[in-house]
Structure 1
């Protein structure tokens, strides 16, 4: 699943660069279509669009796909914990890849001591609080709607690309530092800095799905705790409530005793297996199928109802993109 979504992201990136280049060239004979998927990387615009939608009832037409993806990620979190992070997000996939490089180089990933880990983990919630307060408390509905219509927001995806194409020494240094930290410490960005992940984690707490441990069959091998990329002590918990749980199911896959660890809605310690609702138990295979089905059904529904492609006409892009330096 991770490789599938990573390949999709790579394709969208290449297509988006071609789109921007075709509009930036005044001599271009053919304009390359814009891939709507690029809006998944505009979470702040999606938050503003959500505020505007809740207040005005008008669904954003400038970056509709961004709002759809944001809502879809929240729904997945409510159903399957923070599975968006572990199964879909290309940044999460990249983080896991960098951590694998670290284990190859150093034999393991470094775990920060608790006195440092807890304050660092709070950073993503601080960042989330800033955006929530600014957008949902300080910004009124009219201002949110007006922001969506300004030229900057219309080509905010192009501005984002321009930023990475013209990185300063400071910007490059920060990226290199984050890469190095992700090699040394598994999922550094996701664990300590991602406000998007923080929000999905908080929503995931309310998910009926929890990783549950059957204490009666557990052999206390602690393989589940070792396998957890988020450093949760699964072997000591009856139910994993933590917002750090990403629903990756690494702990379930590592358990040597079948049925001892499961992602499910009900207790797995019942002495009568026939009383359990098997269809409510999510295995890695079922998790993969569920994520793909939810994702593509939602995307298809958004396209069929006209909530996917932007309403910005090509003529606007032809005017705004050559003026990117002004934004």
Structure 2
């Protein structure tokens, strides 16, 4: 485990955030019995959860409160920082911070041990390219339910809420628990199935990949087309086909930049520099 963490700082960050979220959830229960831990709150993570991230943004915009006050609020600051980070670096919240993404990535490690090279290749590429748009249906649904004051439905089907409910003793929706169990089960075969096909907040942040300042670039002159970067990508992006990765599924996890992945140094970089006559292979 020590060796794994040494070579995977992202995993260390994910585990840390996940533990903080679990402690925050436990603290939510402790507050109800007047035994809370100071300075620990789950509300911050509520604003960036897979569905509440979308509802929070909608409610922030729709709120009649003066914009000056909204921007100064905790919600306004979190939304502002999240969007600025995503505009600069892409969806790093998805790749490094999202606790539900961490749960899927940790489950994926088990799946990789079981299925080896077959892992994350059970769904044919043609089908995967079609399924990746389903999360935009989830985004539209989340917006509609929020606009019609039906947020309770979203909370009932939110697997992240079901996970938190294990620790904070809130009533847990059976539908949410079923979806949570299903996502974890599928994660044994496909990495990040929720992120790829259902996450509304990830769908929203993924749009910023088209405009982000820093992105993964591939030097085609030195590339061996070994496709090892493709294999490492949790979202199944064909990095070897692009000079600059602006795929809407990219979560800016930077796994493809691991020095143990690409056999040619400086072939894959995360940079803001322009590519000469940049021919970006943009995948929708």
Gaps of 5+ in 2: 1-9, 48-52, 152-160, 278-284
Aligned mates of 2:218, 2:15 — CA distance in 1: 32
Correspondence list, 1:22-171, <5 A: 22-23=31-32, 25=33, 28=34, 33=38, 35-42=40-47, 43-52=53-62, 56-57=66-67, 59-60=69-70, 64-107=73-116, 108-111=118-121, 112-132=123-143, 161=165, 165-167=170-172, 169-171=174-176
Q: CA deviation at 1:169?
A: 4.4
Aligned mates of 1:94, 1:133 — CA distance in 2: 28
When normalised by structure 2's length, the TM-score is 0.73
Among 208, 229, 245, the residue aligned to 1:240: 245
Deviates more, 1:205-214 or 1:49-58: 49-58
Q: CA deviation at 1:248?
A: 1.8
**CA separation of 1:193/1:210 partners in 2, compared to 1, >3 Å: closer, same or farther?**
same
Is residue 256 from structure 1 mapped to residue 267 from structure 2 by the alignment? no
Larger helix fraction of residues: 1
Q: CA deviation at 1:268?
A: 5.4
Gaps of 5+ in 1: 148-156, 271-327
Provide runs of 4+ in structure 1 moved above 6 Å. none
Taking only aligned residues, the RMSD between alpha carbons, in angstroms, comes to: 3.3
Residues 14-53 of structure 1, C-alpha deviation per residue, up to 9 Å, x if partnerless? Answer: 2443343443x4xx5x565463343322425522442146
Aligned mates of 2:169, 2:177 — CA distance in 1: 9
When normalised by structure 1's length, the TM-score is 0.64
**CA separation of 1:132/1:59 partners in 2, compared to 1, >3 Å: closer, same or farther?**
farther
Q: Which residue of 2 aligns with 1:309?
A: none
Higher relative contact order (CA 8 A, sep 6+): 1
Q: CA deviation at 1:225?
A: 1.7
Kept in 1: contact 2:27–2:40 (CA 8 A): no
Q: Which residue of 1 aligns with 2:280?
A: none
Q: Which residue of 1 aligns with 2:272?
A: 265
Q: CA deviation at 1:180?
A: 0.3
Aligned mates of 1:256, 1:231 — CA distance in 2: 19
Aligned mates of 2:58, 2:229 — CA distance in 1: 39
SS in structure 2 of the partner of residue 184 of structure 1: coil
Give the number of the structure whose alpha-carbon radius of gyration is greater: 1
Aligned residues: 246
